[in-house]
Amino acid sequence: MVKKILQELGITKNTRYENQYLNDTNIRTAIYMAVVVIALEIWMIIRYVYKRPGLSFMDYFDGETNYIILLSSAVIVLTFGIRHKYLENERKRCIPGIITAVIFLLLDIPLFVRFVYVRKDIMNFRELLSASKYLFLLSVLILSYLIYEFFLYEISHRRSAIYGQYLNVIFALICLGFGIETSVYDVSRERQILCFVTMAIYAACLLIWKPYASFIILSVFFLYFYHEWEPIMNANESPHAQKILEANQINYFTFWIALVMVSVSIYQQRLTEAKKDENLTKAHDLMKKLAVQDELTGISNMYQFVQDAERIMKDHPDDRIYLFINIDNFKNYNDKYGYPAGNRFLCTVADIISKGFPDDPVARQSDDHFVVLTTTSSLETRIREIRNKVIAINPEIYVDLKVGSYMPGKNITESTKLIINPGCQPEQENPAGVITDPHIAVDRARFACGLIKNKFDKHYMEYDENVDRDFHKRQYVVNNIDTAIENGYIQVYYQPVVWSEAHTLCSCEALARWIDPEYGFLSPGDFIPVLEEYRQIHKLDKCIWEMVCCDIHDVTEAGLKPIPVSLNISRLDFELMDTPAVLEDLVKKYKLHKHDIHIEITESALADDMGRLQRDLARIKNDGFSIWLDDFGSGYSSLNVLKDYSFDVLKIDMKFLSSFNDNEKSKIILNTIVDLAAKLGMYSLTEGVETNDEAVFLQEIGCGRLQGYYFGKPMPLQDIVAKIKDGTYIIKKLG
């Protein structure tokens, strides 16, 4: 309550913004008022000259002292106002302003001399001093303005507004003084007092004081004027004039109160506006900040980075390099310490990177990815220093940085040759063939970084020509998978799986091939990981499964025994489609037996337990398909997977055979796995058999099925059918 009252009275302190707002609005009002005063005074001077024809120049000069004073002060205030509002950014001396001020100063001096000279006989020193006070104030005003022009022209906008407020005060005092003098002079001749009242309004408009200040200042002037007026009024003996003056007196007091109230109300209104404006400005600033700043770390966001990069690359297209920085193992950091600690860690890393590249644009792209645009000079050293600092943040957990880089100026010519993106915009390049779009450049640096993701000993990878070729191949794959399926570029190759005893044909594995008119023969390594990354793998798998089912159907129709086929399945297939339903439909459509279809799932797909995957696998198994565990032993989670799921066949990864001849331990391991499989009720199959020795060994340890180049490479259907027909392969089913 007390606070509210103090606020209404204007006793509470305003914020810096509010004061600035009030000062600025006062200067704006001063400009309007100065224009009004100038127009008015010019009119008065013309009127004066017109009414008194034939006077000498000096007489005119003497008679119009007050008009000239008011006119000059208004011109100075107007000059300052315009300069403050419109020329503030120039931060130069305003020559026209200086010339104007000097002219008025030169006019002011003879005016002053003449004033004293004319009146020295009729006034004593005190009266002279009092009568010449406007001239004095005018001199102060002009000199203050000149001081500003010569010494203070470089001060900030805020300080300049405060200075303008000071000039306004002098202008207001001149107006009030002028009003008092003219009105007292008029009253003494039984005439109006309106001049003072008018000037009081000017002054009130010129300066929106705080309520209590408005009250004090206006009251002081009204009382002073009343004090000057009272003896004149009493001295007047005419009853008619007495009546007029009495009426004037009552109106005078009413006016005083009204004017004080109006000033207070205008002040409050402006203060409310200032508060609103301040909130708006704050909101605007915040939004502006958010638009260019990463919310979490406070460094630039990608929007700002792209703007900066475009600007810099325009001037330095040849020697700048984009860096993409990824925090290795950040996921584990989050898992171990929680998200708030993870966020703090990201802020620290952002700080380290920013300080490592103090003059370059640095931004957080997303999650734990940062981007930098820098120069190549001592780049390796700088990256090493940053890495060391990041590693040292928390020595308890392994965290490192992986950095990929792309230098547009290196002008990789392959990029243009290899881009065949029918649906995509052509990449933005300058005439020299340098990629200028920061998004593309960052994408390439990120790609290079991705290549060393799982390489323990590599921390820096540059996007070179080989990477470029790979990059475009990947882009091509993602953009063309649908076309490839439609146009039959995707084909199935079948690799035989044989019984280890008689080497008769047990089944085949269906392996995808992409035979492309542009790239030629693409092996699964070129497209499977990309399609998985871009969540398109289900399209390929569905297509392969359909082709396989169709082939089995055709072979059977042609009178051969149906060949059982194992299909590869990706863990994403379970997320991207209703896999059990797709398989079920295909089997129905081609009238196949479910035991002729095996599903191969890799152990890595099962490592992260997913409810849906587990349910779907159980459904597939219950539907009658057999489930094979692929690549057993290639990951870390092999034994857990065996505990949690049940499989019909265990496919032992080919890496155990790679050191078959050199490492006796491989044999022991193979033996153990085969035993383990048998104990868990599974058949075993070893992949990658390339020699007779391997085949003999595997047969001896009890591995029932074998697959590998020794028995046949993956081949098109017609080749395998031909080999069945000519007796190379004899189909022999289980049981």
Stretch that binds ligand C2E, among 6-14, 134-142, 590-598, 686-694 (CB under 6 A): 686-694
Q: How far is the CB of 711 from ligand C2E (least distance, A)?
A: 8
- 356 or 688: whose CB is closer to ligand C2E? 688
Stretch that binds Ca ion, among 162-170, 485-493, 598-606, 655-663 (CB under 5 A): 598-606
Stretch that binds Ca ion, among 199-207, 332-340, 450-458, 625-633 (CB under 5 A): 625-633
Stretch that binds ligand C2E, among 428-436, 443-451, 565-573, 676-684 (CB under 6 A): 565-573
Q: How far is the CB of 322 from ligand C2E (least distance, A)?
A: 32
Identify what 495 binds: ligand C2E, Ca ion, none; CB under 5 to 8 Å per kind.
ligand C2E
Q: Say how many residues touch Ca ion, by CB under 5 A.
A: 4
630 interacts with Ca ion by CB under 5 A: yes
- 353 or 537: whose CB is closer to ligand C2E? 537
Angle, helix 157-187 to helix 16-51, in steps of 10 degrees: 40
Q: Please, which of residues 4-23 interact with ligand C2E by CB under 6 A?
A: none
Within 8 A by CB and 6+ apart from 341, the residues are: 333, 334
Q: Please, which of residues 500-559 interact with ligand C2E by CB under 6 A?
A: 511-512, 523-525, 528, 537, 541, 544
688 interacts with ligand C2E by CB under 6 A: yes
Stretch that binds ligand C2E, among 55-63, 181-189, 218-226, 701-709 (CB under 6 A): 701-709
Q: How far is the CB of 675 from ligand C2E (least distance, A)?
A: 22
Among 392, 709, 722, 725, binds ligand C2E (CB under 6 A): 709
Identify what 688 binds: ligand C2E, Ca ion, none; CB under 5 to 8 Å per kind.
ligand C2E
Tokens 């790609």 map to which residue?
447
Whether 357 contacts 374, CB under 8 Å:
yes
Q: Please, which of residues 594-613 interact with ligand C2E by CB under 6 A?
A: 600
Residues 548-556: contacts with CB under 8 Å, at least 24 apart = 548/492, 548/510, 548/597, 549/586, 549/587, 549/589, 549/590, 549/592, 549/597, 550/590, 551/492, 551/717, 552/590, 552/592, 552/596, 553/590, 553/591, 553/592, 555/717, 555/721
Among 308, 600, 603, 694, binds Ca ion (CB under 5 A): 600
Q: How far is the CB of 674 from Ca ion (least distance, A)?
A: 16
Within 8 A by CB and 6+ apart from 628, the residues are: 566, 598, 599, 600, 601, 647, 648, 649, 650, 651, 685
Q: How far is the CA of 406 from the CAs of 319, 350, 457, in angstroms?
A: 11, 20, 20
Identify what 180 binds: ligand C2E, Ca ion, none; CB under 5 to 8 Å per kind.
none
**Helices and strands of the chain, counted as H and E runs:** 28, 14
Cα–Cα dist 500/707, whole Å: 9
First vs last C-alpha separation in the chain: 96
- Amino acid symbol at 139: S
- 468 or 630: whose CB is closer to Ca ion? 630
Cα–Cα dist 221/172, whole Å: 11
Stretch that binds Ca ion, among 117-125, 315-323, 546-554, 566-574 (CB under 5 A): 566-574
- 267 or 697: whose CB is closer to ligand C2E? 697
Whether 508 contacts 495, CB under 8 Å:
yes
- State both tokens at 285: 């600033």
Cα–Cα dist 71/35, whole Å: 10
Q: How far is the CA of 455 from the CAs of 146, 249, 448, 626, in angstroms?
A: 72, 97, 12, 35
Burial of residue 365, with CB atoms counted within 10 A of its CB: 0-12 exposed, 13-18 middle, 19 or more buried: middle
- 330 or 514: whose CB is closer to ligand C2E? 514
Q: How far is the CB of 465 from ligand C2E (least distance, A)?
A: 24
- 646 or 691: whose CB is closer to ligand C2E? 691
Q: How far is the CB of 484 from ligand C2E (least distance, A)?
A: 13
Tell me how far the alpha carbon of residue 136 is from its chain's centroid. 57
714 interacts with ligand C2E by CB under 6 A: yes
Tokens 């909101």 map to which residue?
283
Q: How far is the CA of 490 from the CAs of 42, 168, 659, in angstroms?
A: 93, 84, 34
Cα–Cα dist 728/735, whole Å: 21
Whether 373 contacts 324, CB under 8 Å:
no
Among 165, 183, 568, 638, binds ligand C2E (CB under 6 A): 568
631 interacts with Ca ion by CB under 5 A: yes
Q: Please, which of residues 629-648 interact with ligand C2E by CB under 6 A?
A: 630-631
Whether 385 contacts 356, CB under 8 Å:
yes
Q: How far is the CB of 389 from ligand C2E (least distance, A)?
A: 40
Q: How far is the CA of 436 from the CAs of 320, 321, 469, in angstroms?
A: 11, 12, 19
Among 570, 579, 638, 686, binds ligand C2E (CB under 6 A): 570
- 406 or 527: whose CB is closer to ligand C2E? 527
Q: How far is the CB of 469 from Ca ion (least distance, A)?
A: 27
568 interacts with Ca ion by CB under 5 A: yes
Cα–Cα dist 520/514, whole Å: 8
- 444 or 651: whose CB is closer to ligand C2E? 651
Identify what 37 binds: Ca ion, ligand C2E, none; CB under 5 to 8 Å per kind.
none
Q: Residues in the site for ligand C2E, rule: CB under 6 A?
A: 495, 511-512, 523-525, 528, 537, 541, 544, 568-570, 600, 630-631, 654, 687-690, 707-709, 714
Note the residues at the interface with Ca ion (CB under 5 A).
568, 600, 630-631
